[in-house]
Structure 1
Amino acid sequence: MAGSGVASIGECMLELSGQTGPDWRMGFAGDTFNMLWALHALSRDRPATYVSAFGDDPFSQRQIAFLAENGIGIGSSPVISGARPGLYAITLTGAERSFTYWRADAAARQLASDPAALSKSLENQALVYFSGITLAILDNAARKTLLTVVSKARAAGSLVAFDPNYRPRLWTRREEAQAATVDALAVTDIALPTFPDEQMLFGDATPQATVDRLGQLVGEVVVKNGEQPALIAEKGTVHEVPAIHVAAPVDTTGAGDSFNGAYLAARLAGHNPAESALRAHRVAAAVVQVRGALAPFETLRAAFDNQPAN
């Protein structure tokens, strides 16, 4: 039987942001970590585990310490001698971001190198989460290992959530990404795609087409589409939940990941899909009004509970 914890699998990178002149601010971020940050903030009593692989350099040590300082463990994730984290820098034009990456030899690419350790990290979790980026940083054999371990966790009672999060630059061929995504969906209970990604990857003409395609594979589907309504398919019914317009966003980094975290927090708390999506939209709207991928816990909680922030 699954326990009460939540585990997210992927790559937490060094983030350089807030560039003003020659000065940059360093933080830690990555799609699956951004999601867990929000989920952890909104599920205060649930143990949170970030499952990856880490180096033994000072930056990796600080990364692990940062997680611990915020109540997030690393389970049995391997610490690999001589390895180091990936790095990316955010540049902004208005609120829109672009990224430059240095990640080819990142430690996280070895997150499935020890199947027994990976399996141990996923034991007794209420929820296991991963993304298309998790798949993309692994070679084919490691992807198969990951999906085998996730499937075992699911069979043991864990709910599995997956965001396809297609990033063409991380894949050698579109067809490879398609095949890996379909394999991941086969072990998924809740799919959290973004429509423009699905349009690029599978050629879906509309969000409804994404719902129709994924609804044949997964029991619960939530299609995000920026400031357009989210479409939710569950138990044969489709709901449309309007997004929240933000007139002057500051930084859109992490908005979709935070939506996912809030949606899953709400579902784990017993809210229905439509109410969960409404709360997730509120959280995403709050996140785009702060700089960086990780909004303060208080900001996330106030938006989730629809209360004025202090």
Structure 2
Amino acid sequence: MRKGGVVSIGECMLELSGGKNSNWRLGYAGDTFNTLWAIRALTPESMPADYVSAFGDDPFSVQQKAFFAENGIGTAASPVIPGRRPGLYAITLTGAERSFTYWRADSAARLLADDKAALKKSLENRRLIYFSGITLAILEEDARKTLFATIREARQSGSRIAFDPNYRSRLWTAEDAARAAFDKALALCDIALPTFPDEESLYGDADPQATVRRMRDAGVGEVVVKNGSDPVVLFADGKESVIGAEPVANPVDTTGAGDSFNGAYLAARLAGDAPEAAVRRAHRVAAAVIQVHGALAPFEVLREAFNQS
């Protein structure tokens, strides 16, 4: 197993897209995987990138892991759960805006924190650990506690922790449960990457600056508040700044734009970019992603946008 580098924790699902005339394409995606995909594209091949989850023993799970390997993504010590399988979702588009239908009740990823020893092994000696509110939402309470404890141990050992709340109300039994979980996650993280409409919905934040203040008060030293095509509000190095997005006249598909922004931002920070420069690179990558179909833009598209001067 490779050590160092980046891990992203969560659920990668089978993705059905492009269902025109019932001709669906099968792919692989999920918020934390989309982010790792961008990180993999934008960091040196020598830097390990592993997706930490749990996988089934069915043919689709085998194909999924083979797809990861073909693109330079490992799975660390992620367990294989007999009888389980990947979650599945289908994308339907109205213009460039997308909606999703899910089948994920028996997803193997829901058991990703049931084996604490395996999870701990997967997170050891990492430069960066990334997870999201969806990672938390798919876990039972005891497994969520295990995940928090294991991330805390990794942070104490020197790993940096990044978190995107990515609130999806349908995945939570109650808003209070989501807020409680997110507050615990924020207490563990070094970098927060929220999206303002989610924070407005769940916490009642009046504006992105209010989101920054709340997360700063929770102890997060670096906060990047995304807001669609509106400017990002950044808090880093003790100061706040507003950075405009890259305009896109005719977006094709907004799937994965925020996840790719996260991946580009984190890749830039891993490369040593200052936070403001990292936001500008991430804006360029997100703008490129919404001009192609699907959650996973080709590596060359991501790299061209990332390296644009």
TM range (shorter): over 0.9
Query: Which position in structure 2 is the counterpart of 1:271?
Result: 273
After TM superposition, list the pairs within 5 Å mapping 1:148-167 onto structure 2.
148-167=149-168
Distance in 1, Cα, partners of 2:127 & 2:206:
34
Alpha-carbon offset, residue 216 of structure 1: 1.2
Query: Which position in structure 2 is the counterpart of 1:143?
Result: 144
Q: Which runs of 4+ in 1 moved over 2 A?
A: none
Distance in 2, Cα, partners of 1:64 & 1:289:
27
Letter in 2 for 1:228: D
Query: Which position in structure 2 is the counterpart of 1:249?
Result: 251
Alpha-carbon offset, residue 229 of structure 1: 0.5
Alpha-carbon offset, residue 4 of structure 1: 3.7
The alignment-based identity, stated in percent, is 68
Q: Secondary structure at the match of 2:18?
A: strand
Letter in 1 for 2:30: G
Letter in 1 for 2:99: S
Structure 2 unaligned blocks of 5 or more: none
Query: Which position in structure 2 is the counterpart of 1:171?
Result: 172
Alpha-carbon offset, residue 254 of structure 1: 0.3
Letter in 2 for 1:179: A
Residue 21 (structure 1) aligned with residue 18 (structure 2): no
Letter in 2 for 1:152: E
Distance in 1, Cα, partners of 2:105 & 2:203:
26
Q: Secondary structure at the match of 2:127?
A: strand
Distance in 1, Cα, partners of 2:4 & 2:244:
31
- Equivalent pairs, count: 305
Deviations 1:78-126 (A, max 9, x none): 0011100000000000000000000011000000010000000001110
Letter in 2 for 1:200: S
Alpha-carbon offset, residue 235 of structure 1: 2.7
Query: Which position in structure 2 is the counterpart of 1:97?
Result: 98
Q: Secondary structure at the match of 2:83?
A: coil
Alpha-carbon offset, residue 215 of structure 1: 1.1
In the superposition, the TM-score normalised over structure 1's length comes to 0.97
Distance in 1, Cα, partners of 2:78 & 2:4:
19
Structure 1 or 2: larger strand share?
1
Distance in 1, Cα, partners of 2:105 & 2:206:
33
Alpha-carbon offset, residue 46 of structure 1: 1.0
Deviations 1:47-93 (A, max 9, x none): 00000000000000000100011010000000011100000000000
Query: Which position in structure 1 is the counterpart of 2:51?
Result: 50
For the aligned residue pairs, the C-alpha RMSD in angstroms reads 0.8
Distance in 1, Cα, partners of 2:231 & 2:4:
31
Structure 1 unaligned blocks of 5 or more: none
Distance in 2, Cα, partners of 1:292 & 1:237:
35
Distance in 2, Cα, partners of 1:140 & 1:213:
24
Query: Which position in structure 2 is the counterpart of 1:35?
Result: 35
After TM superposition, list the pairs within 5 Å mapping 1:103-252 onto structure 2.
103-217=104-218, 218-252=220-254
Distance in 2, Cα, partners of 1:234 & 1:38:
22
Alpha-carbon offset, residue 236 of structure 1: 2.1
In the superposition, the TM-score normalised over structure 2's length comes to 0.98
Distance in 1, Cα, partners of 2:239 & 2:177:
31
Distance in 2, Cα, partners of 1:38 & 1:202:
29
Distance in 1, Cα, partners of 2:71 & 2:132:
22
Distance in 2, Cα, partners of 1:179 & 1:167:
14
